[in-house]
Chains A and B, each alone.
Chain A
Amino acid sequence: MTEPSVSNIENKPKNELSVSRIENNPKYHELVRSRDVLAWTLTALVLIIYFGFILMIAYAPGLLTQPISAGSVIPVGLPVGVGVILASVVLTAIYVTRANNTFDPLIQQIIQEASK
């Protein structure tokens, strides 16, 4: 699993020049914007899901502790808690897929254009 790493293209003497080239490259701003949107949206989702769960525990425990069906001892909170764990894994997978497919190629292009 030793894929060519973008960081291998590092070139010290040209570094400062590359930085200003990158800062002037619209693709770089596109990368920063799209990654920020994705990262902060997903972060907000995790926070909403998790603190939704926590606030229910704090202020409406009755919702979570009622049984999932009449006669069952399993409280609603159990599938909800497991759901929060699964949602975290799914959101993590979404970010990794998006980053692998869209951000990495974009970074490659930006670095190549800067080291020309």
Chain B
Amino acid sequence: MRTTGTLSKALRGVGLLIAAQLTWIAAAAAQTPAPAEATPVNWHAVVMFIIFVAITLAITYWAAMRTKTATDFYAAGRGITGLQNGFAIAGDYMSAASFLGIAALVYFNGFYGLIFSVGWLVGWPVILFLIAERLRNLGKFTYADVASFRLKQGPVRTMAAIGSLIVVIWYLIGQAVGAGQLLHTLVPQISYRVSIVIIGALIIIYVTFGGMKATTWVQIIKALLLGGATLMAIGVMAHEGFSFNKLFSDAVAAHPKHIEIMQSVVPIGAKANPIESVSLGLTLMFGTAGLPHILMRFFTVADAKAARKSVLYGTCFIGYFYILTFIIGFGAIVLVANHPAYVVDVTKDVLNLKGGSSMPAVYLSHALGGDFFLGFIAAVAFATILAVVSGLTLAGASALSHDIYANVIMKGKSTEAQEVLVSKMCVVGLGILAVILGIMFEKQNVAYIVALTFSIAACANFPILLLAVFWRGLTTRGAVLGGYTGILGSIILLTIGPTVWTKVLNMGPAIFPYDFPTFVVLPAALIVAYVASVTDKSASAQKERAAFGPQMVRSETGLGAEVAVAH
């Protein structure tokens, strides 16, 4: 695979590349004070970026002083409270794609955007009811700990780690490309490449030095900053006389498609497709419950009770925020569309914004509160990217170090110090990989990335985790075959589906006519796991089934679960 090759190369060249990065940043810094170009430097944004970075680096220093053991590094010593973890979950989950992305979906398509808000939220109750507490009771650092609890470590962890890494790496590409474009649009003096390098360097610093503690606090601060979006929604409602009727009527009047934005349940212009809608629903709901960087957050709290509370806090915050985003999207239709300062050419397309399609929320902040508010929201978006990428990088590094290195290659015989060292090397490697891929994918259409990551999470990670926890009959053979069915099925059907086959590869009409393959692959993964397990008559399979009883005692009562470390 190309990614593995790049990764090993990246790992070998660690020192060299860090040096190269530092030179790049120095060069960027040297260029910034000479903005002789037409666009003036957005000082509000720059100052707020710098304040945010200074605060997070101070936190990283504080966290680094307190990060000594593997539990500190991967799981913040399990000392995060339920409320803190709730905010961190919100900070980890709401990527720039959901903050800027839902606002943009609403801006272009109206009501349709709400379907995504709903879909991205409904996974959370399922995580709480079925997964969160059991995950905390059974696992140590990664979700593979839980999937492989009573099964063969090597094959199951390898499968789970591959599932995690594909999700993490593709998610990283999406975030890196978005981050580079955003930073470059907001501060044009910093080029796309330099933007991505700055982000890569910051992530490597946060995660290698501060581990999960620094990552958690970056995510908490980011979630609190997102609260600033409340001001945007209030600003919109104040402009509309606090009347939803007026807001929606004005939006219908301002949008070129008028009343259609209230009546279309598919993207404006697309044909309604029932199976696609259902498949999208499945993908969003169960994909959330299979994202490795999200599942990892449950290992940072003291016990199952705190894990449970953190989902409630997180769900409240995410739900609140998605409703805000909906108001923000409609506010942008009223205040940003048709506005010559934001639109490329009002005579041609009143929606088409300078700087690309993710800008509606950003320009809305400018329309409401000028350069200062724009600077603030830009800094929030930047913080969002850093928070999500930190969580992803740490999750990817733990799959490599805790699952592959410590448990598959070293078979549990490595020391804690070795494992953490490998993990930090993987963080550096993944950070550099994200920068390289971010630059490679600059001009690519990255819209399919969300579909890919959520599909694999929904079709491989989630069903195997669920079966491992709830079904006595699951054996190693079932978990491995079911898991690979989910991973390969998603990749193959996405590749021959409309987004990749037709739009990215330009190969003509898609062989598999649906964007989201979950409605086929999720049942297939479950069936394969079931059949492969029940037909497994081996002695080891018998032992695995017998081990379900003790696993269930631990999963239900927390007896023997990993304890919090006292500091």
Q: Are B312 and A6 in contact (CB under 8 A)?
A: no
Given the interface contacts A73-B248, A88-B315, A104-B305, does A42 sit within 8 Å of B129 by beta carbon?
yes
Q: Which of A20-72 contact B (CB under 8 A)?
A: 22-23, 28, 31-32, 35, 38-40, 42-43, 46, 50-51, 53-55, 57-59, 61, 64-65, 67, 72
Tell which of B406-414, B497-505, B546-554 binds the partner. B546-554
Known A-B contacts A1-B83, A72-B245, A81-B115; A51 and B278 likewise in contact (beta carbons under 8 Å): yes
In the complex, which of the residues A6, A43, A85 contacts B130, with contact meaning CB atoms closer than 8 Å?
A: A43
Given the interface pairs A23-B553, A61-B272, A85-B322, the reply to whether A100 lies near B265 with Cβ below 8 Å is no
Whether the Cβ atoms of A19 and B125 lie closer than 8 Å is no
Against A, the Cβ 8 Å flags (1 = close, 0 = not) of B100-133 are 0000000000010011011101101110111001
Residue of A nearest to B317 (CB): A89
- Whole-angstrom CA separation of A23 from B555 in the bound complex: 13
Least distance between B233 CB and chain A CB atoms (Å): 13
Cα A78 to Cα B329 in complex, Å, equals: 14
Question: For residue B281, which residues in chain A have a CB less than 8 angstroms away from its CB?
Answer: 50-51, 54
Interface SS of B by simple majority: helix
> A67 CB to closest chain B CB, in angstroms?
8
Interface window among B165-173, B422-430, B473-481, B558-566:
B558-566
What residues of B have a CB within 8 angstroms of the CB of A59 in the complex?
Answer: 274
Would you call A5 and B302 a contact (CB within 8 A)? yes
Which of chain B's residues have a CB closer than 8 A to the CB of A114? 559
Neighbour of B137 across the interface among A7, A54, A82, CB < 8 A: A7
Residue in chain B with minimal CB distance to A64: B265
Q: Are B305 and A5 in contact (CB under 8 A)?
A: yes
Interface residues on B, range: 35 or more
Say whether A92 contacts B128, CB under 8 Å: yes
Q: Which residues of A contact B263 (CB under 8 A)?
A: 65, 75
Which one of A8, A19, A40, A50 contacts B553 once the chains associate, using CB atoms below 8 Å? Answer: A19
Report which residue of A6, A55, A88 has the largest number of chain B beta carbons within 10 angstroms of its beta carbon. Answer: A88
Query: What residues of chain B lie closer than 8 Å to A28, measured between beta carbons?
Result: 553, 556-557
| B130 and A39 form a contact (CB under 8 A) | yes
Report the minimum CB–CB distance from B540 to chain A (whole Å).
Answer: 20
Q: Which of B278, B311, B558 contacts A58 (CB 8 A)?
A: B278
B residues near A75, Cβ cutoff 8 Å: 111, 262-263
Is chain A's binding surface mostly helix, strand, loop or mixed?
A: helix
Interface residues of B in 270-294 (CB under 8 A from A): 272-275, 277-278, 280-281, 285
**Which residue of chain B lies nearest to A72 when distances are taken between CB atoms in the complex?**
B245
Cα A99 to Cα B561 with chains together (Å): 18
Contact of A7 among B130, B265, B316, B561 (CB under 8 A): B561
How many residues of A are in contact with the other chain, CB < 8 A?
A: 63
Q: Is B309 touching A2 in the complex (CB atoms < 8 A)?
A: no
CA distance A95 to B275 in the complex (A): 31
B306 within 8 A of A: yes
Q: In the complex the two chains form, what is the Cα distance from A48 to B464 in whole Å?
A: 23
B262 touches A46 (CB 8 A): no
The reply to whether A111 and B277 form a contact with Cβ atoms under 8 Å apart is: no
Chain B residues with CB under 8 Å of A73's CB are 245, 248-249, 252, 259, 262
Query: B553 — which chain A residues lie within 8 A by C-beta?
Result: 19, 22-23, 28
- On chain B, the residues within 8 Å of A16 by CB distance are 550
Cα(A102)–Cα(B319), bound, Å: 27
Q: Which of B133, B323, B561 is close to A85, meaning CB atoms less than 8 Å apart?
A: B323
Q: In the complex, what residues of A have CB within 8 A of residue B322's CB?
A: 85
Contact between chains at B265 and A57 (CB < 8 Å): yes
A6→B278 CA distance, assembly (Å):
41
Chain A nearest Cβ from B341, distance in angstroms? 27
Q: How far is the CB of B518 from chain A (nearest CB, A)?
A: 12
CB of B419 within 8 Å of the partner chain:
no
- Candidates B125, B133, B264; contact of A92 at CB < 8 Å: B125
Going nearest first, the 10 A-B pairs with the smallest beta carbon separation are: A58-B274, A5-B303, A54-B281, A58-B277, A65-B263, A7-B561, A39-B129, A81-B114, A1-B81, A7-B558
A42-B125, A43-B126 known, 10 other contacts, Cβ within 8 Å: A1-B306, A3-B302, A22-B559, A32-B552, A51-B278, A54-B280, A58-B278, A92-B316, A99-B305, A111-B558
Query: Can you pick out 11 interface pairs between chain A and chain B where the beta carbons lie within 8 Å of each other?
Result: A1-B82, A22-B553, A22-B557, A28-B556, A43-B126, A54-B278, A61-B265, A81-B115, A92-B124, A96-B312, A107-B557
